[in-house]
Structure 1
């Protein structure tokens, strides 16, 4: 069976029939590694990551959530949109589309590519890797904004959606490098943070990228879909003596909050939603939580400075989409809100979790370790809304309930006491005490020195 061809046919059918009834008219779409993963998916549960169905957990979420600190994990990010941009003016286009400077973009280098709309709001963001002089790979929750923007100009460049033909596996944690070196059979200590190079697994060419979505020493493996299952199994075998765990969908987003990284579609909604470049991959439905938008969906959009992605030395002069809006904001003193962390009061959280065992009205339930979809809650100071919390999660590594929060700068100092209003309007809402915390929640180990001593 040609796995890549099957993935391509199913992928195109899912996108074409995205609003059709599931299974009856719209096929189920799995990772190309599903066969290997199913051997360990003894619970048989699956959930959607974009359009892809992934195992919810392999052992249990507590064990899997701790793996990137205790040992390492292998997780499947093949659901990400994978878009190749190539051509004589591909770099010019990408430099205009993203707010980061690409003038010194080296071969094999990785950049966080934040793409804005004309009003300076985040429309898409992901990882951009330079594959060749005129070839780049963009991986993100959605690349539809990039594809649409390229179609609107006269750039001498072309785009190709290679999502079904390639897998992406994350291997993150202190044992990640040893696992990968055993898997590939070669020394990978030359791969610096934010860099990548080609390697091989059992004669199959793969790209090794050093990334840090977990806040720990971490890597990604990119390779051809037809070999995804064999490489997944080989990676698990290589890491087994080191304590590797397979990471289920239920635990995947937890590490982002610990590392202080806002996730598109969970901690904010992309401004591309209102355009023909809207993401086809995102789930349907509306966000949960106590936050009530006054201006419609745009209240869920964010400026880069509100997510910790602003410029340290002011808005540069070079041209990029959304620059004028950012410059106008800067002239007014910059965004009035900033990204912080919140540590939720344990007793208050425990009261909500145990409410079904007591008497009185029941509040909205708290999913553990975190909600699968976007949830936005009001953050209060003296009964006045001063911010919006998102990504509430139970962190077994911190032994705490934590979340991200976009908050007025006047209340952003670590140690500030606030309250989170838990529950949708019309439910038995409860206030949860919380304390503002600096981000990231735990030490940043992404740039761990792995050079030979």
Structure 2
């Protein structure tokens, strides 16, 4: 069986048996670049990202977490769900499904596609790339909401799950362009931010997308599974002189928080979990943290305006799922919360980190660099709830413990002092002082003028 057939066979088995016991009934699935990655995975440990097992660390998570600022990294996002939408009404369907305007969507362009349910909650979000007049690819943590919605209507369009057939490698950081130009032998400076085009690596066609998940100059490589190993190895070789680092699963999420990007399934739960379009790729489980959802599971959901994805000039007239709910929210002044950053007090954090060395009641420990699953902490001011913190991570670049926070609008001024309640209910909880910070935490270099490099 060739690599492509093996990946698809295992992928379909994993989805079908996702709740079955691991190893005995549900097969393990590795990246199509696993053989090349194994050379650098000297620790031999793996973490589960959706259906794939990826190396935890290659060198050291602290070093890897800083690579996107000082040089560049090579990371594996092949775990993302990838669906090709095609047909005469593909564009019309996608315009109805997402809240963004697609009327001037050019071939090769990339759009952040935010998909809502009828209540205006975020159901899915990801990257939509136009490949041709009637062909698009949507990549996200899960595309199941899209697939379910397409099945609901009589659209003259079809969707094909190409997840096991394509790899996605991220190359992010100031040395990313030089690394990829050396890799391809091609001048890639014509690729503007949120644009893409095809090139070749040793004769293999790949698509280069200019993205900004790290807050730095960065790109993605999308290509055929059967060439994943050779292309991974070639990127590593091309970036050696620039100090490239292979990015392990443990360090992957740090950059998102630094860049102020909320991650589906970690910083909020998608509203699709209550529908037949619920994500199949991720484990089911209860979020951890001090936050107690008084209103039920919807307290973990978010409106686009709460995450900085709302409309600047009011809700537009065009039709899309969830529009009526957003109009009603606007009339009521909802949402009343905004996404900000929190910088956690060093002394209070240190007290938790060193508590294992003291003879006292032990609070919940802080996994480093951050918790593996969804974690929600209550944020207080004068003892009253004012927000919810997520994504708590230590940033080696900033030398600080930071997090995102959905906070009452009246408290969002930078410098505002709040308190994060740390620890699950029923445990020795700690109050950790924190300071509101504007996002992103560090300068936004995504739109670097590459023509001057």
Contact kept in structure 2, 1:172 and 1:218, CA below 8 Å: yes
Question: What residue number does 2:342 align with?
Answer: 342
Question: What residue number does 2:225 align with?
Answer: 225
RMSD, aligned CA? 0.7
Name the SS of the counterpart of 2:443 in structure 1. Answer: coil
CA offset digits 1:169-208 (Å, max 9, x no partner): 0000000000000000110000000100000001100000
**Which stretches in structure 2 are left out of the alignment for 5+ residues?**
none
1:294 Cα deviation from its structure 2 partner: 1.1
Question: What residue number does 1:295 align with?
Answer: 295
1:334 Cα deviation from its structure 2 partner: 3.2
1:273 Cα deviation from its structure 2 partner: 0.2
CA offset digits 1:23-68 (Å, max 9, x no partner): 1000001110000001110101101111110000100110000000
Q: Is 2:225 the counterpart of 1:205? A: no
1:452 Cα deviation from its structure 2 partner: 4.7
Output the CA distance in 2 between the equivalents of 1:308 and 1:440: 12
Question: What residue number does 1:7 align with?
Answer: 7
Output the CA distance in 1 between the equivalents of 2:83 and 2:359: 53
Output the CA distance in 1 between the equivalents of 2:217 and 2:452: 15
Output the CA distance in 1 between the equivalents of 2:73 and 2:421: 34
Question: What residue number does 2:143 align with?
Answer: 143
1:212 Cα deviation from its structure 2 partner: 0.2
Question: What residue number does 2:283 align with?
Answer: 283
Output the CA distance in 1 between the equivalents of 2:206 and 2:51: 24
Question: What residue number does 1:173 align with?
Answer: 173
1:283 Cα deviation from its structure 2 partner: 1.5
Contact kept in structure 2, 1:189 and 1:452, CA below 8 Å: no
Name the SS of the counterpart of 1:240 in structure 2. Answer: coil
Q: How does 1:177-326 map to 2 (within 5 A)?
A: 177-326=177-326
Name the SS of the counterpart of 2:451 in structure 1. Answer: coil
1:441 Cα deviation from its structure 2 partner: 0.4
1:295 Cα deviation from its structure 2 partner: 2.0
CA offset digits 1:383-427 (Å, max 9, x no partner): 111000000000011111000000111111110000000000011
Output the CA distance in 2 between the equivalents of 1:55 and 1:318: 44
Question: What residue number does 1:442 align with?
Answer: 442
Q: Which runs of 4+ in 1 moved over 6 A?
A: none
Q: Is 2:155 the counterpart of 1:155? A: yes
Output the CA distance in 2 between the equivalents of 1:298 and 1:57: 35
Question: What residue number does 2:327 align with?
Answer: 327
Output the CA distance in 1 between the equivalents of 2:22 and 2:452: 52
Q: How does 1:92-107 map to 2 (within 5 A)?
A: 92-107=92-107
**Which stretches in structure 1 are left out of the alignment for 5+ residues?**
none
Using structure 1 for the length normalisation, give the TM-score.
Answer: 0.99
CA offset digits 1:210-235 (Å, max 9, x no partner): 00000000000000001001000000
Output the CA distance in 1 between the equivalents of 2:288 and 2:382: 23
Q: How does 1:355-394 map to 2 (within 5 A)?
A: 355-394=355-394
CA offset digits 1:272-322 (Å, max 9, x no partner): 000000000112211000000112211100000000100001000000000
Question: What residue number does 1:116 align with?
Answer: 116
Contact kept in structure 2, 1:128 and 1:139, CA below 8 Å: yes
Name the SS of the counterpart of 1:232 in structure 2. Answer: helix
Name the SS of the counterpart of 1:347 in structure 2. Answer: helix
Q: Is 2:74 the counterpart of 1:74? A: yes
Q: How many pairs does the alignment contain?
A: 453
Output the CA distance in 2 between the equivalents of 1:50 and 1:384: 36
Output the CA distance in 2 between the equivalents of 1:291 and 1:78: 32
Output the CA distance in 1 between the equivalents of 2:366 and 2:188: 42
Contact kept in structure 2, 1:81 and 1:141, CA below 8 Å: yes
Name the SS of the counterpart of 1:367 in structure 2. Answer: coil
Output the CA distance in 2 between the equivalents of 1:361 and 1:225: 50
Name the SS of the counterpart of 1:12 in structure 2. Answer: helix
Contact kept in structure 2, 1:114 and 1:126, CA below 8 Å: yes
